[in-house]
Amino acid sequence: MTKEHQPVAVRRGSIGAKRNPASQQAILEAAEAILREDGLSGFSIEAVARRARAGKPTVYRWWPSRAALLLDVYQGFKNERQFPDTGNFEDDLRAFLTNQLIGFWSAGICGMVFRSVIAEAQSDPGAAEALFAYERGRRKFAEVLVDRAKARGEIDPNADSAVIIELLAGFAWHRLLTGRIEGSDADVDKVVATIVAATKKNPGV
Amino acid sequence: MTKEHQPVAVRRGSIGAKRNPASQQAILEAAEAILREDGLSGFSIEAVARRARAGKPTVYRWWPSRAALLLDVYQGFKNERQFPDTGNFEDDLRAFLTNQLIGFWSAGICGMVFRSVIAEAQSDPGAAEALFAYERGRRKFAEVLVDRAKARGEIDPNADSAVIIELLAGFAWHRLLTGRIEGSDADVDKVVATIVAATKKNPGV
């Protein structure tokens, strides 16, 4: 398990987690089961605590907000998908957009869950803190995709990995939040072509 | 007044608007005053109707949701800013990002208003309808920026105007929704450089 894939509580090295790791896993499993069975409307700290046979304070000790717990379950769903490593920048970009973002959100409830966390984060500081930390981590993690292309000598070594990943993530968020996830394939190809053209090695160098 | 700049009610050609245009203007002015004075928390159809001395049904006849009315006031604020036309693609891109999106949102309450409408649109179908229509219109309108650069022979004529505008809008939305509007200037320059590099005329053509 890489650092990136650990739940918030473990990453934070909470004392509770050391005291009783089994119970933390039970809470995550209960949360995932509720989300799969009842969707977002049935998801609350109270419902999760009841199903995991834990006290609400126990859940809150590890996940300071409903959004933080939602994001850990969401990340669990995402980790079931392979992070792209095709050996080719263009294919990696396409796989990142389709497999990790747009395609991931169109499957099942994941898009709905993520939209809802983004929405909550606009008015609830706890949700904002959880989302921003999660999102910053994912973005950093995804930069490896650009760095690998640089290491292969495939693209301009001066290409800005962070900006490229944020352009892709921004496009995908925009599609999600304007209800246009479906039918994005042709535009995904155009976005990939745009980034590939922008990061071509300068022939004069 | 161009079509783009007309409020929802006028664009829809509502019968009410024809019957009593003064009252529609009074409602918009009341809405703007409330937003300027009390911010988002004081903004409701009820408060706007009271201040405009109109009935709530009158307001709802022209603006089907709180979000639709918010967006018309928001668009009024935006129309006070000049849409970029510098004669140069790179400067137009930068001005679009800073003046129309990121810089606009960091000034006063505009960013807060827009975040809130995006958040509401994720669970309220009326807000979603209003936001998606507004956003589609603005995006279409902004494409002129790319089309003009093509007409000047400045960029690749095959550059996809819609995808370029959505990449810029997506980046800006992402900054807004992850609380990172401030301090975006250096990255705005990198985004602009990326788009300029991607749309360079193919030297072989």
| Range list for CATH 1.10.357.10 in chain B | 77-198
Alpha carbon separation from B153 to A93, B145, B166, B202 (Å, rounded): 29, 13, 22, 12
Q: Is B166 within 8 Å of A177 when comparing Cβ atoms?
A: no
**Mean pLDDT lowest for which of A75-79, B53-57, B98-102, B201-205?**
B201-205
Q: How far is B23 from chain A (nearest CA, A)?
A: 32
A55 touches chain B (CB under 8 A): no
CB atoms within 10 A of CB A182: 10
Q: Is residue A19 scored above 70 in pLDDT?
A: no
Q: How far is A13 from chain B (nearest CA, A)?
A: 25
B184 touches chain A (CB under 8 A): no
B132 touches chain A (CB under 8 A): yes
Helix spans in B15-109 (H): 15-19, 21-38, 45-52, 56-62, 66-79, 89-95, 103-106
Candidates A167, A94, A18; CA nearest to B188 is A167
Tokens of A77: 């769903």
Q: Which among B122, B175, B198 has CB closest to A116?
A: B122
Q: What is the mean pLDDT of residues B160-179?
A: 98
Q: Is A197 within 8 Å of B195 when comparing Cβ atoms?
A: no
- The residue behind tokens 């496009």 is A171
Give me the pLDDT at residue A107, please: 81
B176 touches chain A (CB under 8 A): no
Q: Is residue A191 scored above 80 in pLDDT?
A: yes
Q: How far is A121 from chain B (nearest CA, A)?
A: 8
Give me the pLDDT at residue A201, please: 85
**Would you say B164 and A194 are in contact if contact means Cβ atoms under 8 Å apart?**
yes
Q: Is residue A16 scored above 70 in pLDDT?
A: no
Q: Which among B166, B187, B198 has CB closest to A163?
A: B187
Give me the pLDDT at residue A30, please: 96
Higher confidence at residue A168 or residue B80?
A: A168
A113 touches chain B (CB under 8 A): no
A178 touches chain B (CB under 8 A): yes
CATH topology of domain B3-63: Arc Repressor Mutant, subunit A (1.10.10)
**Number of A:B CB contacts under 8 A?**
100
Q: Is B122 within 8 Å of A118 when comparing Cβ atoms?
A: yes
Q: Is residue A10 scored above 70 in pLDDT?
A: no
Q: What is the mean pLDDT of residues A189-194?
A: 97
Please report residues of B whose CB lies closer than 8 A to that of A170.
167, 170-175
Q: Is A135 within 8 Å of B178 when comparing Cβ atoms?
A: yes
CATH superfamily of B77-198: Tetracycline Repressor, domain 2 (1.10.357.10)
Higher confidence at residue A41 or residue B202?
A: A41
A31 touches chain B (CB under 8 A): no
Q: Is A197 within 8 Å of B197 when comparing Cβ atoms?
A: yes
Tokens of A100: 């990790």
A119 touches chain B (CB under 8 A): yes
B201 touches chain A (CB under 8 A): no
| ipTM of the prediction | 0.88
**Would you say B33 and B51 are in contact if contact means Cβ atoms under 8 Å apart?**
yes
Q: Is residue A124 scored above 70 in pLDDT?
A: yes
Per-residue pLDDT tens over the stretch B2-25:
444 445 554 444 444 444 666 899
Name which CATH class applies to A81-198: mainly alpha
Mean pLDDT of chain B: 89
Measured distance between the N- and C-terminal CA atoms of chain A, rounded to whole angstroms: 40
Candidates A16, A126, A136; CA nearest to A66 is A126
- Tell me, rounded to whole angstroms, the distance of Cα B90 from its chain centroid: 21
Tokens of B137: 């219109």
Q: What is the percent of chain B with per-residue pLDDT over 70, rounded to a whole number? A: 88
Give me the pLDDT at residue B21, please: 60
Give me the pLDDT at residue B10, please: 45
Please report residues of A whose CB lies closer than 8 A to that of B200.
197
Q: Is B116 within 8 Å of A123 when comparing Cβ atoms?
A: yes
| Contacts of residue B165, Cβ cutoff 8 Å, sequence gap at least 6 | B139, B142, B143, B145, B146
**Mean pLDDT lowest for which of A149-158, A179-188, B17-26, B54-63?**
B17-26
Q: What is the percent of chain A with per-residue pLDDT over 70, rounded to a whole number? A: 88
Give me the pLDDT at residue A22, please: 65
Candidates A89, A85, A95, A64; CA nearest to A196 is A89
Give me the pLDDT at residue A155, please: 97
Alpha carbon separation from B146 to A163, B141, B157, B164, B172 (Å, rounded): 21, 10, 10, 8, 17
Per-residue pLDDT tens over the stretch A73-122:
999 999 888 999 999 999 999 999 999 999 999 988 899 999 999 999 99
Per-residue pLDDT tens over the stretch B68-102:
999 999 999 998 889 999 999 999 999 999 999 99
Q: Is B177 within 8 Å of A173 when comparing Cβ atoms?
A: yes
Q: How far is B21 from chain A (nearest CA, A)?
A: 31
